[in-house]
């Protein structure tokens, strides 16, 4: 337990006028500190260790690989409230760079568990795939609901934000990019 975080949370909550002696609130500073420790467990960690063993593919089998509907929860770095949604990705593997599909969920989780902006998170996921798998092309799309926007008095309750990052051959080749987008969008509407 990070006692410094617990103390700071206690001071913060008391400064807002909360009665931490009230039944049910006594352990709130500890619970909040533990929760934020878990939510930020991606801080200071790279993504290189996620890939582990990769698998070779025949260069003749140059097909796109899509992984869709990867759920995530992250924290807006401006307000420290959640934003959450799904990440969808397509990559064009290099001859030696195909990873097990579960690795992508671990990658998204690692990057999401930092104070984030959706745009930066999307770009970091794409860059990690490009670098870690030496992918020849990467397209990542993130759909999210931002509680910092939804909880305000002028709330936009049903707003969903969509960001994308395009790298490598998908950026250069319009036909390949359109094929990748088609793979991502199938079944999303």
Q: Where would I find the beta strands (DSSP E) of 129-184? A: 137-146, 161-168
Check if the beta carbon of residue 94 is closer than 8 Å to that of residue 133. yes
pLDDT tens, 8-27?
A: 999 999 999 999 999 999 99
Q: Could you tell me the domains of the chain?
A: 3-39 (no CATH), 50-185 (3.30.1130.10)
Tens-digit pLDDT string for the chain (189 aa): 789 999 999 999 999 999 999 999 999 999 999 999 999 999 999 999 999 888 877 654 568 999 999 999 999 999 999 999 999 999 999 876 788 899 999 999 999 999 999 999 999 999 999 999 999 999 999 999 998 888 877 767 778 999 999 999 999 999 999 999 999 988 665
Beta bridge partners of 92: 137
Q: Which pLDDT belongs to residue 148?
A: 83
Cα 97 to Cα 59, 75, 137, 170, 176: the distances in Å are 11, 31, 12, 17, 19
Q: Which two tokens stand for residue 115?
A: 């104070």
Check if the beta carbon of residue 113 is closer than 8 Å to that of residue 98. no
What contacts 167, CB < 8 A, 6 or more positions away? 126, 127, 130, 135, 137, 138, 139
């Amino acid at each position: 337990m990070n006692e410094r975080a617990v103390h700071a949370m206690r001071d913060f909550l008391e400064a807002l006028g909360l009665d931490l002696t009230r039944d049910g609130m006594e352990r709130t500073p500890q619970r909040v500190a533990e929760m934020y420790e878990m939510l930020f467990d991606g801080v200071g960690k790279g993504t290189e260790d996620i890939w582990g063993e990769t698998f070779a593919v025949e260069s003749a089998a140059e097909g796109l690989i899509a992984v869709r509907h990867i759920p995530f929860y992250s924290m807006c770095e401006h307000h420290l409230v959640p934003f959450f949604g799904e990440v969808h990705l397509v990559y064009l593997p290099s001859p030696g760079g195909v990873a097990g599909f579960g690795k992508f969920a671990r990658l998204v989780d690692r990057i999401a568990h930092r104070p984030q902006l959706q745009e930066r998170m999307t770009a970091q996921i794409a860059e990690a795939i490009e670098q870690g798998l030496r992918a020849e092309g990467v397209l990542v799309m993130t759909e999210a609901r931002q509680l910092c926007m939804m909880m305000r008095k002028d709330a936009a309750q049903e707003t969903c934000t969509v960001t994308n990052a395009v790298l490598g051959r998908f950026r250069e080749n319009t036909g390949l990019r359109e094929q990748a987008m088609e793979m991502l969008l199938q079944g999303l509407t």
